[in-house]
Amino acid sequence: MVFPVIAGRVACRRAGAAGRAQASKAIWQKLEEENREFFKAYHVRLILKEQISIFNQLLQKQVELMHGMSSAGAAAVSLRIDSNTSRMATLSLLLLVIA
């Protein structure tokens, strides 16, 4: 029967992948330990990149709202706090903690 052979191969590949993942994690941790300043700057840049992305999304929403207001006259616009806004606040706090 072919299925036990295939199942054995899949199990071996999964075990190999888990081993490679562990090795990669150990190497990454060692690199972070030996290059603290580099990785500190790297993580700050990742946070900043995310903040810029969120800002651009919020700016696009603002443009859409402004266009909606100009076409509807002095219509009332209600803004809701969404997950992006709360993520931006969280990222801002993280940036302050890291710096």
pLDDT tens, residue by residue, 76-99: 444 455 555 555 555 555 555 554
**Which pTM value belongs to this model?**
0.46
Query: In the prediction, which pLDDT does 96 show?
Result: 52
- Cβ contact 51:91 at 8 Å: yes
Q: Domain ranges in the chain?
A: 1-34, 36-99
Report CA Rg, the chain. 24
**Tokens read off for 30:** 């060692």
DSSP string, 21-76: HHHHHHHHHHHHHHTHHHHHHHHHHHHHHHHHHHHHHHHHHHHHHHHHHHHSSS--
The residue ranges of the chain whose pLDDT is under 50 are: 1, 74-79, 99
Query: In the prediction, which pLDDT does 17 show?
Result: 73
One-letter amino acid for residue 2 of the chain: V
